[in-house]
Amino acid sequence: MRVNVKPNALIWLALSALVIALDQVTKYFAIELLEPYEAHAVIPGFLNWTLAYNAGAAFSFLHDAGGWQRWLFTVLAIAVSAVLVVWLRRTPRGEWRTALPLALVIGGALGNLIDRVRVGHVTDFIEVYHQQWSWPAFNVADSAISVGAVLLILFGLGGRKAPQGTP
């Protein structure tokens, strides 16, 4: 007896792996080439490479909480990634509007998880600013998480088309 199994979207984990690799390589070069908290202008008035370390979460949330936050964010990254992998497994392969954002978020979460487990903090190095305003430093993993989350919202707001013949 042969069971007809539809291909799922787990193939999109290859994109997650690419995000992790790109994130780790760029962090390696940032650590090797930059001095902590020294700005190096890339696009004057807009973009610097600035090496920073974040023991907290987004925007340094809980960065000075004494160390327990490392394990909280580690467990959260593992749990969220596991849930998203299950979601990918249940998603048909052709549903790229679901698979793409999930793969980006998984890759970003695991990229930062590697830092957190390995050295106890996340390495950031991209700083966007204008005059006195400055966005907190971030990295490739953070970018993937943000883009993935925005795409999930945008594609989710678009809704799904009902099959023809249904009201």
Q: What residues are annotated to the active site? A: 124, 142
H/E stretch holding 40 reads strand 40-43
State whether residue 50 is helix, strand or coil: strand
Q: Which two tokens stand for residue 22?
A: 């790109």
Separation CA 121–CA 23 (nearest Å): 14
Query: What SS3 string covers 119-159?
Result: HCCEEEEEEEEECCEECCCECHHHHHHHHHHHHHHHHHHHC
**What is the distance between the alpha carbons of residues 95 and 113, in angstroms, rounded to a whole number?**
27
- The widest CA-to-CA distance across the chain, in whole angstroms, is 68
Q: From 32, 51, 29, select the one nearest 40 (Cα to Cα).
A: 51
